[in-house]
Amino acid sequence: MSEHINVLLPEEEVDARIQAMGEQISRDYAGKQVHLICVLKGGSFFLCELAKRITVPVSLDFMSVSSYGGGTESKGVVKIVKDLDESIRDKDVLVVEDIVDSGRTLSYLLEMLRSRGPKSLRLCTLLDKPERRVVDVDVDYTGFQIPDKFVVGYGLDYDQRYRNLPYIGIVEFDEA
């Protein structure tokens, strides 16, 4: 089976939205330093572009989590693959994610981070698939709400490919 990619959100539209998000975050954190936590691997492309557009002081850290449970869908069992390097106690923390869909993994992750005593904890995502939500997750900053389609680009992958696309595309599978 082969696939092709149809553009859902062109590069210019993604760039403009990230610029607007950076401006909003800068206003919301005026007079503070924001500690960005990137959820790897997909969030790294979005984090870099977003951080360049935030005008308040920024610090960064990274986490890698996996959720599993058999089959192709997450059952909400979360494993921390790479934890934070620094404490987040008393910091204004913004979790940066590439996509929110079922909410299972993020709900667990946010609860765990809350227990570590940050001054504030917010969530920022480039893409949101509300149709897929199984667990309620409050998203503070959303780039785009998208339909329930398999998407790639801007850090999102299909079998570790297409992360480097400068746009968001829908994967369409061709019959062989």
Catalytic residues: 101
For residue 83, give the amino acid letter: D
DSSP class of residue 161 equals B
Is the bond leading into 82 cis (omega within 30 degrees of zero)?
no
The answer to whether residues 154 and 45 touch, using CB atoms and an 8 Å cutoff, is yes
3-state secondary structure of 111: helix
Smallest Cα–Cα separation from 8: which of 130, 133, 146, 101? 146
Q: Which residue has the tokens 């913004």?
A: 94
